[in-house]
Structure 1
Amino acid sequence: MGLISSPSVDESHYHTHKIFLFANYILLGTASSCIFLTLSLRLIPSVCGFLLILLHATTIAAAISGCTAASCGKNRWYAAHMVATVLTAIFQGSVSVLIFTNTANFLGSLRSYVREDDAAVILKLCGGLCVAIFCLEWVVLVLGFFLKYFGYVDGGDSNMKRTGKVQSEENLKEWPLSFQV
């Protein structure tokens, strides 16, 4: 899952693969930093605070599935990574807008035990990290798409590779006469 090159990575796409892994590692760091900033607000009893922590944990899970997808190259890991990353990017962007536009209202719904001015600063730091996570997730999505596309073009995905012929002569002989055109 680390920076060790897998045999499925072509030499021409080596740098894209490394940038993809590096961006996922940065995403792991920023999401865990967001969790620690959120925990410093001491808001565990509130439902909104729990959902905020759950969002950052989902971001971490999406980044881990991205590292796994880049290492093993399986289709299901790419699909799980893409779905989780798109969803967390949408929610991270929404939370960051909510934090910066309605800081006082959002802080009131979190029911934090920290003083209001200190909590507003911590929340805005968390909002800044949410913006960084939002941007990084879209970079990771684009790089993941390119890696999947390169794998498709290079022929690494034999199930999805199309030849242009509808069917070969050998396969046509196996079909019943009514289905042959």
Structure 2
Amino acid sequence: MGLIPSQSVENSHYYTHKIFLFSNYILLGAATSCIFLTLSLRLIPSICGFLLILLHTTTIAAAVSGCTAASCGRNRWYAAHMVATVLTAIFQGSVSVLIFTNTANFLGSLKSYVREEDAAVILKLGGGLCVVIFCLDWVVLVLAFFLKYYAYVEGGDRSVVAVKRSGKVQSDENPKDWPWPFQV
């Protein structure tokens, strides 16, 4: 789960792999910061506060599964990473829009014990981090797609037939077995 590339990482996409891991580490830090900002609002008794913390925890789980997928290269981890990242990106974007458009109503449903002015500032800081997480989630998704594509093209994916880079069509059929009009 570190920045040391595995043996499956080719030189052609070494930097893509590093940027992918670095983006996931930034996601881990941003989601952890959002959790601490949410906890600073003292939201534990409310259901909305619990769901907000659960969203950030899911974002952390998606980033960890992304680092694991990049390290081991199995299809199962890529699938889990893609699903979790898409869901967290959608919900992070929704929460950030909700925070910036209806701050007072959102604070009312959170039932915070902090003064309203201070809570609004803390909530907008969390909303800004949600926007950063939303953008980084989509960057990570694009990089994960490219890494999976590189693995497919280079034949690293054993579950499917790899595309040949030579461009030549290889056929196991004998042209003599074809019907008469197609024989040359």
Q: Does 1:64 pair with 2:39?
A: no
Calculate the TM-score normalised by the size of structure 1: 0.90
For structure 1, the 5+ residue unaligned runs are 170-181
Shift of 1:109: 0.1
Query: Partner of 2:30 in structure 1?
Result: 30
Query: Partner of 1:82 in structure 2?
Result: 82
Shift of 1:134: 0.0
For 1:133-169, what per-residue CA distance to the aligned partner results, in whole angstroms no more than 9, with x for missing partners?
Answer: 0000000000000000000000111221256778x57
8 and 162 in structure 1: CA distance in 2 versus 1, 3 angstrom threshold = closer
Q: Residues 93 and 131 of structure 2 are in contact (CA less than 8 Å); yes or no, is this contact kept in structure 1?
A: yes
Calculate the TM-score normalised by the size of structure 2: 0.88
Query: Partner of 1:127 in structure 2?
Result: 127
Q: Distance in 2 between matches of 1:154 and 1:99?
A: 44
Alignment of 1:10-21 (within 5 A): 10-21=10-21
Q: Does 1:47 pair with 2:47?
A: yes
Q: Does 1:160 pair with 2:150?
A: no
For 1:58-113, what per-residue CA distance to the aligned partner results, in whole angstroms no more than 9, with x for missing partners?
Answer: 00000000000000000000000000000000000000000000000000000000
Query: Partner of 1:112 in structure 2?
Result: 112
Shift of 1:12: 1.0
Q: Residues 89 and 138 of structure 2 are in contact (CA less than 8 Å); yes or no, is this contact kept in structure 1?
A: yes
| Number of equivalences | 168
- Alpha carbon RMSD of aligned pairs, Å? 1.3
Q: Which amino acid aligns with 1:122?
A: I
Q: Which amino acid aligns with 1:119?
A: A
Q: Which amino acid aligns with 1:151?
A: A
Q: Which amino acid aligns with 1:44?
A: I
Identity %: 82
For structure 2, the 5+ residue unaligned runs are 164-168, 174-184
Q: Which amino acid aligns with 1:93?
A: G
Q: Distance in 2 between matches of 1:159 and 1:165?
A: 19
Q: Residues 104 and 120 of structure 2 are in contact (CA less than 8 Å); yes or no, is this contact kept in structure 1?
A: yes
Q: Distance in 2 between matches of 1:110 and 1:6?
A: 44
- Secondary structure of the equivalent of 2:87? helix
Q: Does 1:100 pair with 2:100?
A: yes
Q: Which amino acid aligns with 1:156?
A: G
Q: Distance in 2 between matches of 1:137 and 1:100?
A: 19
Q: Which amino acid aligns with 1:115?
A: R
